[in-house]
Amino acid sequence: MGSLAWPYEQAAKAKAVKDECEEMLAGAMPILHEATTALDTLKPADISYVKGLKNPPGAIKLVMEAVCVILDVKPAKAKVGAFAVFQGGTN
């Protein structure tokens, strides 16, 4: 008779995982919304300014490193401006 309980046990475990995931997602969604809203405020002039920096501040370098990780691109030394960090990439 123990085998009849197995599906219910598995369903309970699956529900616990689902509930945990939904809780984590609920915490992440406001952060995603805030980041998306911040991106919407960028203007082409802002990008041009950052491109022209010969030695960008540490925060900008950190963001660019994160972008490289997300895009799975190996960063290279910038030859011209901050956005020339991608090997073979486009500006």
pLDDT band at 90 (very low <50, low <70, confident <90, very high): very low
pLDDT at residue 88, rounded to an integer? 43
pLDDT at residue 53, rounded to an integer? 87
List, for residues 11-69, the tens digit of each pLDDT value: 999 999 999 999 999 999 999 999 899 989 989 998 888 888 888 899 988 988 888 88
pLDDT at residue 74, rounded to an integer? 86
pLDDT at residue 79, rounded to an integer? 58
Report how far residue 47's alpha carbon sits from residue 57's, in angstroms, rounded to the nearest whole number: 14
Lookup result for tokens 């960063």: 75
Report how far residue 25's alpha carbon sits from residue 32's, in angstroms, rounded to the nearest whole number: 10
What pTM was estimated for this model as a whole?
0.52
